[in-house]
Amino acid sequence: MIDYEKMLPQRLSQLRIKKGASARDMSLSIGQGQAYINNIENAKSFPSMRSFFFICEYLNISPKDFFDYEVSNPEKLKLIFEDMKTLNDEQLSTISSVIKGIKK
């Protein structure tokens, strides 16, 4: 069982840092006090559902992406996936071959 009380602060910190935003700037950008994100990351408080949705919107990810701990950069992956939707079968096969080569 996942300990969300422990994982949520860690994941928020990870995603915020990947985005290159300070906790203060993120807090203010989502309409909260300057220590709001810091308090969540230090497990002093937890966001309401409404605030959680604002956090995800700020990070440009879905709530599902937020809790997908296997993906370290869901925002970048989302952008790549959007670009890949426009590729034809041959282009997708090429991308697949490149990915398999990188993973070796």
Q: What is the per-residue pLDDT for 69? A: 87
Q: How far apart are CA 22 and CA 78, in angstroms?
A: 22
The mean pLDDT of 44-53, rounded to a whole number, is 96
pLDDT of res. 54: 97
Rounded mean pLDDT of 58-75?
Answer: 92
Question: DSSP letters along 12-38, please?
Answer: HHHHHHHHT--HHHHHHHTTS-TTHHH
Average pLDDT over residues 73-89: 92
Q: Which fold has domain 4-103?
A: 434 Repressor (Amino-terminal Domain) (1.10.260)
Q: Indicate the pLDDT class of residue 64, thresholds 50, 70 and 90.
A: very high
Mean pLDDT score, 31-59: 96
Spatial neighbors of 67 by CB under 8 A, at least 6 apart, are: 11
Average pLDDT over residues 15-33: 97
Q: Is a pLDDT exceeding 80 seen at residue 2?
A: no
Helix H or strand E encompassing 48: none
Reported as type and span, the H/E element at residue 73 is: none
What is the separation, in whole angstroms, between the first and last Cα of the chain? 32
Please state the pTM of the whole predicted model.
0.80
In terms of Cβ atoms closer than 10 Å to its own Cβ (0-12, 13-18, 19+), residue 4 is exposed
